[in-house]
Structure 1
Amino acid sequence: MTTLQAYRFALDPNQAQLAGIRRHAGASRFAYNWGLARVKAAHAQRDAEQSYGLTGDLLTPVPWTLPALRLAWNAVKRDIAPWWDECSKEAFRAGLDQLARGLKNFTDSRQGKRKGRRVGFPRFKKRGKARDSFRYTTGAYGPADETYVKLPRIGRVKVHEPMGALTGRLADGRARLFGVTVSRTADRWFVSFTVEVDRDVPERPSRRQRAGGPVGVDLGVKHLAVLSTGQTVPNPKHYQRAERRLRRASRAHARSKPGSAGRRQRAAQLATIHVRVANQRHNGLHKLTTRLARSHDTVVVEDLHVAGMVRNRRLARAVADAGMAEVRRQLAYKTRWYGSTLVVADRWYPSSKTCSGCGWRNPSLTLSERTFTCQSCGLVLDRDHNAAINLHHLVAASTPETENARGADRKTRASGRVAGKREPGTATAGQTGGASPRGEAA
């Protein structure tokens, strides 16, 4: 299987290289802002011409695409940026490319061609506030060896950790380098390699996966995940644990003088805490999803409406801190990598309100009730564990003719249950009937 992957490493530049990196990031930002000003000026001129009655080819063209923006930039760069030859041309191209993508996303969003929330018109980037980055797609760039990376006009820059996993794949032809992005997060610079990788995908689940069988995973806030096997993954609540330090750093930043060196220092300290929280969350979720994909032949999760859940002001912070949407995103590609299958239960399937022993439903079960008590068979069980077992039943009760094909789409039918909507690389299972929405974090 061929897939696009990114390898990210922290850079360890010397002072001269750091100055060069900052100069290239500034050049990218300069080209972006110049292009945006050019687009806005052309739009204003075009509107004025239309008010005069001009139409068609008589109107001023607007440089909306990357080729048009690059053509306009090359015509004036020596006049507006006489220092342009101090940086790689790729830095300017990266800024114009970001602008072209932003304009396209804006247009597609207005025309209904782009999913998700509505995208606004691109805005100018301000030094110190915008995310500093630039990208190489041509030239002599890439890993020089396991500890150095070649960046045109900057030189050989050392990285903090060995790049053996990447250089090994590039050397034996299992990976092809497409581009390199240099970006800043808090006060550190990173290099990210975009590569096309040929992965050896198992033709069938491994012995370990077959032994583990299918598993239902109930995601929530109290516990990050409860498995149908009875295992509970606690929610580490990284943001909540860091709130005291974040409040202290935020107060120090707010009380510092705008534009001062002290304010920049406080901003860097605040950003460092946020990055640490994000890294801790990311690391924990990767360990969880990798273990699930490698230990079970089928993983069943719910189609939680996370975007709607974060609109609840009482749940928003806890839901965002748990990273439930990230769990599903990671499982989607890891199950394909490791030869297992991801099944997504229908959003309206009442897993928490259905008895895992006899199928009786309690439509009046509230989120505050943490124990499920069946009035039909007498089952008393933790509501999250009960939900996970119900998710497991969606696959366990499937017909024997249904096969598990390495992460491919798969119908999962059980008594009284029908397949729901599908996503690439996943199968969706649900249950018919007037079920209550399962849009809450348990």
Structure 2
Amino acid sequence: MIVHQAYRFALDPTPAQARALSTHCGAARFAFNWGLALVKAVMDQREAEKSYGIAPADLTPPLRWSLPALRKVWNQVKDDVAPWWAECSKESYSSGLDSLARALNNWTTSRDGKRKGRAVRFPRFRSKRRARRSCRFTTGGVRVEADRRHINLPKLGRIRTHESTRKLARRLEAGTARVLSATVRLEGGRWHCSFTCEVQRADPPPAQPDVVIGVDLGITHLAVLSRPLSGVTNAVGAVPNPKHFARASAALRRKSRAVSRKHGPDSRTGARPSKRWERADQRRNRIHHRVANLRRDGLHKLTTALAAGFGTIVIENLNVAGMLSNRRLARSIADAGFAEIRRQLAYKTRWRGSRLVVADRWFPSSRTCSDCGAAKAKLPLHIRVFRCDSCGLEIDRDLNAARNLAALAVSSTTGTGGTGDLEPPCSNGRGADRKTRALCGQAAVKRPDRSADLPVGCPAGASRIRSCR
């Protein structure tokens, strides 16, 4: 299987190379701002001409927003707008224009209703101090050196890496990978280089290809599996939640107080921050980056174990954006990384040849008895033990939901996705246009404020955060 995969390495540039990297990122930011100013000028000119009653055929010709069109205009005027352009690689300016073309395309598709999610605003100019320092190289001498301790970038030359590049170098030497681009970025006070490669993967199939496992995500436990997994869960099947951000909150409070005592930037007066403020802010940002790295490492280990161990994995289609609107749980939900777990499972199941099934958002996994199938009308969130009124089963709420999800893949009675589906098949991409089936003989009633049929006992206008579970 041929996939696109990124390999990210930390760099150890010399002071001169660090300044050169910053210069290339600044050149990309300059090209972005120049192109955005040109686009706004053409748009404003056309609007002004329309207000004067000028015929459409006589208006100023529109400017195409594609990368080739913007790069063509840049090459015509670069000697006038940037006489110093030869100091940086041409890839830095192309990187900035490519970012602008993508931003304008996202705004256009969002405005036309062709893009899912929240509305995308029109691009804004990038500040010299607030913008992320990043630059991408697609052509030229982009390679990993044979000593596995250096990389080579156009105009920048050889740069030493902080870690060994053998993981990518072995694939390049074997001919199973091809470098497409390299992106340098400053994060947490350290430069990183990410190689986007076309990789030919031959991952082994899952250890238990015929086994189905349900995964119920939560806050008390990061995930509860329908069956225990050695080395990952406890005897019950629960994966402990490390709560990296909560553990680092005390250190973050101390660093934030130190930052607040320094003379920081002021957007109203244009005052620039002091050097002490910048150093204190860097120390605080290092904690944020460490938390992000720890969370990413833990989620990768969990999703890799699931994809390598089971042939079918069933998860829920959670409304994470809606759940984050709950101010009491937003921080814990963001710290758990529900969306990242689903994203990683989506591509890792494709690599392994396993199957990812996405349950419908309105599937009552927590309210349904995993033994007899009887469903409760409602089950408040604070009740953590499920007690069945029909068969008398008493079981942990999350474990009961995980077993129901596992049984869902076998019965296939409610909305499920296919192999590696990122979204369930529906018209709007959110699963909200489906109708919840009445369970255990309950009559379905039509609520005036929702088009879907809900079982009797579900409160009218129930929030998608709780999914009526």
- The answer, yes or no, to whether TM exceeds 0.5 is yes
Is the 2:11–2:191 Cα contact (8 Å) retained in structure 1? yes
AA in 1 matched with 2:33: N
Q: Which amino acid aligns with 2:181?
A: G
| Structure 2 gap segments, 5+ residues each | 228-235, 265-272, 426-433, 439-453
User: CA deviation digits over 1:301-357, x for unaligned, max 9?
Assistant: 111111111111111111111101111111111111122211111111111111111
- Cα distance, 1:418–1:364 mapped onto 2, change above 3 Å: closer
Q: Confirm or deny that 1:335 pairs with 2:349.
A: yes
* 1:102-152 deviations in Å (ceiling 9; x for gaps): 111111110111111110000011112111101111111121221111011
**What SS does the corresponding residue of 2:126 show, helix, strand or coil?**
coil
Instruction: Name the CA distance, whole Å, in 2 between partners of 1:310 and 1:209.
Output: 35
Give the distance between the partners of 1:131 and 1:61, measured in 2 at CA.
Answer: 33
Normalised to the residue count of structure 2, the TM-score between the two structures is 0.85
1:164-183 CA-to-partner distances (Å, cap 9, x unmatched) read 12122122221121111111
In 2, the alpha carbon distance for the partners of 1:268 and 1:307 equals 29
Alignment-mate amino acid for residue 319 of structure 2: H
- Check the 8 A contact 2:349/2:420 in 1, yes or no: no
Aligned-partner SS, 1:118: coil
Kindly tell me: are residues 262 and 366 of structure 1, through their superposed partners in 2, closer, same or farther at Cα, counting changes over 3 Å? same
The reply to whether residue 317 of structure 1 matches residue 331 of structure 2 is: yes
What residue in structure 2 maps to residue 249 of structure 1?
A: 255
- The amino acid across from 2:394 in the alignment is V
The correspondence for 2:196, drawn from 170, 194, 197, is 194
- Candidates 437, 441, 446, aligned match of 1:432: 437
Show the counterpart of 1:292: 306
Asked if 1:84 corresponds to 2:114, the answer is no
- SS of 1:297's partner is strand
In structure 2, the partner of 1:209 is 208
Figure out how many residues of one structure are paired with residues of the other and give that number: 420
**CA contact 1:343–1:427 (8 Å) conserved in 2:** no
- Aligned ranges for residues 123-272 of structure 1 at < 5 Å? 123-145=124-146, 146-202=148-204, 205-206=205-206, 208-210=207-209, 213-229=211-227, 230-258=236-264, 259-272=273-286
Q: Separation in 1 of the partners of 2:196 and 2:55? A: 44
| 2:72 partner amino acid | L
Query: How far off its partner does 1:62 sit?
Result: 4.0
Normalising by the residue count of structure 1, what TM-score does the alignment of the two structures yield? 0.90
Q: Secondary structure at the match of 2:208?
A: helix
Separation of aligned partners in 1, 2:280 and 2:158: 31
Runs of 4+ in 1 over 3 A off after TM superposition: 418-431, 434-442
Match of 2:247, SS state, is: helix
SS of the aligned residue for 2:248 comes to helix
Structure 2 Cα separation of the partners of residues 194 and 308 of structure 1 = 32
Q: What is the CA RMSD across the aligned residues, in angstroms?
A: 2.1
Matched, 1:20 2:25: no
Distance 1:298 1:221 in 2: 24
In the TM superposition, residue 267 of structure 1 has moved relative to its aligned partner by 1.7
Distance 1:101 1:365 in 2: 45
1:60 is displaced (CA, Å) by 2.1
What is residue 58 of structure 2 aligned with on the other side?
58
**Percentage of identical aligned residues:** 52
